Amino acid sequence: MTSISIAGAGIGGLTAALCLHAKGFTDIRIFEAVPEIKPLGVGINVMPHSSEVLHNLGLGEALDEIAVRTRCIEYRTRFGHLIQSDPRSVEAGFAAPQYSIHRGELQFLLFETVRERLGADAIEVGKPVTGFIQTDDKVTVLFEDGDSYETDILIGAGGLRCKVRAQLHPDEGPLCYEGTMMFRGATQTDVIGDGRTMVIAGNHDVKFVTYPISEKQRKEGKALTNWVAEVRVDRPRHIQDADWNRDATFDYLTPFQDFQMADMDIVAIMKAAPSVTEFPMIDRDPVAFWTQGRVTLLGDAAHPMYPIGANGASQAIIDGRALAEALAADAGTQGLQAYEAERRPVTAKVVLMNRQGGPEQVLDIADARVKGPDDKIEDLITAQELEDVAANYRAVAGFQKRTV
Ligand SMILES: Cc1cc2nc3c(=O)[nH]c(=O)nc-3n(C[C@H](O)[C@H](O)[C@H](O)COP(=O)(O)OP(=O)(O)OC[C@H]3O[C@@H](n4cnc5c(N)ncnc54)[C@H](O)[C@@H]3O)c2cc1C
Residue 403 has pLDDT above 50, yes or no: no
What DSSP letter does each residue of 100-148 carry, written as one string?
Answer: EEEHHHHHHHHHHHHHHHH-GGGEE-S--EEEEEE-SS-EEEEETTS-E
Dist. CA 225 → ligand 1 center (Å): 22
Residue 180 has pLDDT above 60, yes or no: yes
Dist. CA 158 → ligand 1 center (Å): 7
Give per-residue pLDDT as tens, 340-382: 999 999 999 999 988 887 788 889 899 999 999 999 988 899 8
> What does the alpha-carbon distance between residue 208 and residue 230 come to, in Å, rounded to a whole number?
6
113 domain residue, yes or no: no
Q: What pLDDT is stored for residue 354 in this prediction?
A: 87
Question: Ligand 1 site: residues with CB under 6 angstroms?
Answer: 7-13, 31-34, 40-42, 44, 103, 128-129, 157-159, 163, 244, 299-301, 307, 312-313, 316
Region class of 187: left (phi > 0), else alpha (psi between -120 and 50), else beta: beta
Average pLDDT of the residues in 319-328: 98
Asked if 22 and 142 sit in the same domain, the reply is: yes
Asked if 53 and 200 sit in the same domain, the reply is: yes
**CA-based angle 198:393:260, to the nearest 5?**
35
Asked if 138 and 275 sit in the same domain, the reply is: no
Q: What pLDDT is stored for residue 14 in this prediction?
A: 98
Q: What pLDDT is stored for residue 222 in this prediction?
A: 96
Residue-number span of the structural domain to which 59 is assigned:
41-103+176-283+358-397
Average pLDDT of the residues in 235-239: 80
DSSP 20: H
Q: What pLDDT is stored for residue 404 in this prediction?
A: 35
* Average pLDDT of every residue of the chain: 93
The total domain count for the chain is: 2
What DSSP letter does each residue of 298-358 carry, written as one string?
Answer: -GGGT----S-TT-HHHHHHHHHHHHHHHHHH-SSHHHHHHHHHHHHHHHHHHHHHHHTTG
Asked if 70 and 163 sit in the same domain, the reply is: no
The model's confidence at residue 261, banded by pLDDT at 50, 70 and 90, is very high
25 domain residue, yes or no: yes
**Would the pTM count as exceeding 0.85?**
yes
The model's confidence at residue 54, banded by pLDDT at 50, 70 and 90, is very high
* Share above pLDDT 90 across residues of the chain, in percent, rounded to a whole number: 79
Residue 229 has pLDDT above 80, yes or no: yes
219 membership: H or E segment, kind and range: helix 215-219
**Sheet (strand 123-124) strand order:** 123-124, 28-31, 4-7, 153-156, 295-297
> What does the alpha-carbon distance between residue 143 and residue 147 come to, in Å, rounded to a whole number?
5
Closest to 73 (Cα-Cα) out of 244, 227, 198 = 198
Asked if 186 and 153 sit in the same domain, the reply is: no
The model's confidence at residue 402, banded by pLDDT at 50, 70 and 90, is low
User: Coil, strand or helix: which one is 215?
Assistant: helix
Residue 6 has pLDDT above 80, yes or no: yes
- Positive or negative CA dihedral for 390, 391, 392, 398? positive
CATH at 348: 3.50.50.60
Contact 336, 296 (CB under 8 A): yes
Asked if 146 and 226 sit in the same domain, the reply is: no
Q: What pLDDT is stored for residue 68 in this prediction?
A: 97
Which ligand 1 atom lies nearest to the CA of residue 305? 19
Average pLDDT of the residues in 14-36: 97
The model's confidence at residue 401, banded by pLDDT at 50, 70 and 90, is low
Dist. CA 370 → ligand 1 center (Å): 38
